[in-house]
């Protein structure tokens, strides 16, 4: 089939076109699928995991992601929810659809468990439409069914056996069977004792042949016992004989067992007919359980990877915050190592990121992290990134990662890469995500670099989004010249000569070729000889880039020290302001207390004058008039003072609000850009928000600071 036809068919099915097996291997999506398979148990879930493929239909993977997130939240929050890993009932439903078919005991058990599980799911999600809307939508067509499990429980006991009281005839058959077994047992024991006393039995005395109890007779005495020989031991020293007195009883018991089987079959036929009416509901039950089991597997994988749901966009772009490569993080966790998170963003104004820097510095991991997380997202899997991240949708993801060769077609690495590039140029468009590792390598550096630059320009014209890693200086330079391309570099500590695995967006990075060689024990004289063989301008350029990065690291350390001092000063100023406020409050309180005491003293003197004027022998009418007048005046003063105080306070608040700068504290969240309110110019990234404080990364300096000391900065 022609590649374009195959892509068209994939697009029609909702699958991402051009996503081939090589891309899955390049991004290690095949390994993620294996991890997912470890959490799958039922056939449908296993089949889904094996055929998992990224989709270009946002509606499909949005719903899958939101349902998985809700299921994960239920588990994380410890809410009551049933285990949903029960067996599938698709085959049982198919059997029910056949008119005269009869379910067996295990089929009834599966249907009962499935029905009870869905009943519990419905009860658990009752009234949770706002908290778990997608899960509630999943069970919208289902309803609790108590009649079906009650009907099954009326036939089967707790061990899954048909109850004796399932029918009057079955009671009669089983009671007769009990009586017959007792008679058979007494008769056999009687024969056993008699022949044992005669010394005709072997040491084992008895055995079972064809479900019949037989005597173990020494072969020398076998003709002395009346009965039927049913077998011998390996050396023929023992003959197993069924006594003649029990033959008829065993035959009668077999007939009774046959009657029991027929009656049980009749009972199960009637029960099958009874629950066949629930077939439409059982089909819905099966669909719900299959989907819940799939959500269970995906949520367990998300827990294993510490994954979450980012914000979802429709446009082909992303802003990843504290993103991890899940496989690397799991591997490092198992070894007790830490994994550096990455913050990477691609948008219409910066759609191609060219990452340079030293080997083993994390360039490829950053590129793979971007690609793998995008594939996981569009496959309906939660991703290991901060939930404040935002991710969109790409119609194709194209990769060229690693040293691939085609043995079958006898292609070299460079020929293989040229074939991949030819294909990319045929299919790449404005909704493609291109991931190229070690772009342009595999041929003569100068000639290959020129061709790589042409490819880079052509891909740029096609409006693609991409992450590219390279050592070629001309690619770094071209990225700096193009308005919608940006450079980035992996940090390298030149003092310790160790990579820091952190991405800096902006300047290109040095490959630190000679520094890395020095780390690995290459003799200094050999390194100097190698430098002598290079174009002096190129050595100077690489040294300049290296020096710039060194100065940037030095500046970052100076900035860190400055920020530390600034934060210490901020804390000291806050303490001094708090102390000053406390002293002022005490002074105001003392002044207020003095004024209150003076007022009370004045009022006391006035009241004493009234008391002195009071004459018990007269009506004191003038005195009462003076008292009322005094009280009225005092009340008016009290009300006017209160109104003046409130007006003054309101005016002060208005002036303060007018003078107060807007810091937009409410906009601060993880990933926000902030600065200190005290006039600091250094910008930082918010890593975590906890209550009224936040953890902020200023350069390489990380600190915890109150939100009221930060200002939100628009990017």
Task: Give tens-digit pLDDT for 71-129.
Answer: 999 988 888 888 888 899 999 999 999 988 999 999 999 999 999 999 999 999 998 99
Tokens representing residue 715 in the block: 């990017």
8-state DSSP, 482: S
Segment among 265-269, 356-360, 447-451, 465-469 with least mean pLDDT: 356-360
Please say whether the beta carbons of 486 and 370 come within 8 A: no
Sheet (strand 693-698) strand order: 701-706, 693-698, 684-690, 673-676, 710-713
CA-to-CA distance for 319 and 310, rounded, in angstroms?
Answer: 9
Spatial CB neighbours of 456, under 8 Å, sequence gap ≥ 6 = 439, 468, 475, 478, 479
pTM of the model: 0.72
Segment among 86-90, 283-287, 694-698 with least mean pLDDT: 694-698
Residue with tokens 């890469």: 417
Domains and CATH numbers, the chain: 37-163+274-305 (1.10.1420), 166-264 (1.10.1420), 311-520 (3.40.50.300)
Please say whether the beta carbons of 691 and 410 come within 8 A: no
Please say whether the beta carbons of 111 and 149 come within 8 A: no
Confidence of residue 410 (pLDDT cuts 50, 70, 90): very low
Distinct helix (H) and strand (E) counts, the chain: 21, 19
Q: How do residues 18-36 score in pLDDT, each as one tens digit?
A: 898 889 999 999 999 999 9
- pLDDT of residue 385 exceeding 90, the answer is yes
Q: Is the dihedral of CA 501, 502, 505, 508 positive or negative?
A: negative
CA-to-CA distance for 242 and 225, rounded, in angstroms?
Answer: 9
């Amino acid at each position: 089939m022609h590649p374009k036809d195959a892509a068209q068919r994939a697009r029609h099915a909702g699958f991402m076109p051009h996503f081939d097996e090589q891309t899955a291997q390049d991004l290690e999506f095949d390994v993620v699928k294996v991890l997912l398979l470890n959490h799958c148990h039922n056939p449908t879930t296993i089949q889904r995991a094996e055929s998992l493929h990224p989709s270009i239909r946002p509606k499909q993977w949005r719903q899958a992601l939101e349902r998985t997130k809700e299921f994960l939240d239920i588990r994380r929050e410890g809410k009551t929810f049933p285990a949903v890993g029960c067996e599938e009932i698709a085959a049982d439903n198919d059997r029910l659809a056949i008119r005269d078919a009869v379910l067996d005991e295990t089929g009834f058990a599966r249907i009962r468990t499935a029905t009870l599980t869905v009943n519990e799911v419905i009860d658990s999600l009752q009234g949770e439409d706002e908290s778990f809307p997608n899960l509630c939508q999943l069970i919208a067509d289902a309803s609790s069914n108590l009649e079906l499990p009650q009907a099954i429980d009326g036939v089967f006991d707790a061990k899954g056996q048909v109850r004796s009281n399932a029918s009057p005839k079955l009671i009669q058959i089983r009671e007769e069977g009990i009586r017959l077994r007792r008679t058979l047992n007494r008769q056999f024991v009687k024969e056993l004792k008699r022949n044992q006393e005669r010394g005709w039995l072997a040491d084992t005395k008895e055995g079972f042949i064809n479900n019949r109890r037989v005597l173990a007779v020494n072969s020398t005495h076998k003709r002395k016992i009346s009965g039927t020989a049913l077998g011998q031991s390996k050396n023929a020293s023992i003959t197993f004989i069924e006594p003649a007195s029990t033959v008829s009883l065993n035959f009668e018991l077999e007939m009774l067992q046959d009657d029991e089987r027929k009656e049980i079959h009749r009972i199960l036929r009637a029960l099958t007919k009874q629950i066949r009416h629930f077939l439409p509901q059982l089909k819905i039950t099966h669909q719900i359980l299959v989907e819940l089991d799939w959500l269970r597997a995906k949520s367990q994988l998300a827990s294993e990877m510490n994954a979450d749901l980012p914000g979802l966009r429709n446009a082909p772009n992303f802003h990843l915050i504290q993103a991890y490569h899940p496989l690397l993080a799991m591997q490092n966790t198992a070894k007790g190592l830490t994994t550096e998170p990455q913050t990477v963003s691609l948008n219409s104004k910066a759609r191609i990121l060219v990452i340079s820097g030293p080997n083993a510095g994390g360039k490829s991991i950053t590129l793979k992290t971007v690609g793998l997380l995008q594939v996981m997202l569009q496959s309906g899997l939660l991703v290991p990134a901060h939930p404040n991240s935002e991710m969109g949708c790409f119609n194709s993801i194209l990769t060229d990662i690693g040293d691939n060769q085609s043995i079958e077609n006898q292609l070299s690495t460079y020929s293989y890469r040229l074939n991949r590039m030819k294909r990319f140029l045929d299919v790449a468009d404005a909704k493609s995500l291109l991931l190229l590792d070690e772009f342009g390598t595999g041929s003569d550096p100068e000639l290959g670099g020129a061709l790589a630059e042409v490819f880079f320009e052509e891909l740029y014209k096609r409006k693609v989004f991409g992450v590219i890693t390279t050592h070629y200086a001309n690619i770094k330079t071209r990225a700096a010249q193009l308005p919608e391309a940006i450079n980035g570099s992996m940090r390298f500590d030149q003092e310790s000569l160790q990579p820091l695995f952190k991405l800096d967006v902006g300047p290109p990075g040095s490959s630190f070729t000679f520094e890395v060689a020095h780390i690995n024990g290459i003799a200094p004289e050999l390194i100097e000889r190698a430098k002598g063989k290079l174009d002096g301008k190129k050595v100077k350029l690489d040294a300049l880039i290296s020096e710039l990065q060194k100065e940037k690291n030095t500046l970052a350390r100076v900035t860190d020290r400055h920020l530390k001092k600034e934060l210490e000063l901020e804390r000291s100023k806050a303490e001094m302001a708090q102390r000053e406020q406390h002293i002022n409050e005490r002074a105001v309180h003392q002044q207020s207390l003095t004024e209150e005491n003076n007022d009370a003293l004045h009022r006391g003197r006035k009241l004493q004058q009234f008391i002195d004027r009071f004459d018990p022998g007269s009506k004191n009418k003038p005195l009462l008039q003076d008292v009322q007048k005094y009280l009225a005046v005092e009340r008016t003063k009290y009300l006017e003072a209160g109104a003046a105080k409130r007006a003054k306070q309101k005016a002060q608040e208005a002036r303060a609000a007018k003078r107060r700068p807007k810091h937009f504290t409410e906009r601060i969240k993880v990933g926000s850009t902030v600065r200190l309110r005290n006039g600091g110019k250094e910008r930082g990234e918010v890593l975590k928000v906890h209550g009224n404080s936040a953890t902020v990364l200023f350069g390489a300096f990380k600190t915890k600071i109150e939100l009221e000391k930060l200002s939100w900065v628009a990017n």
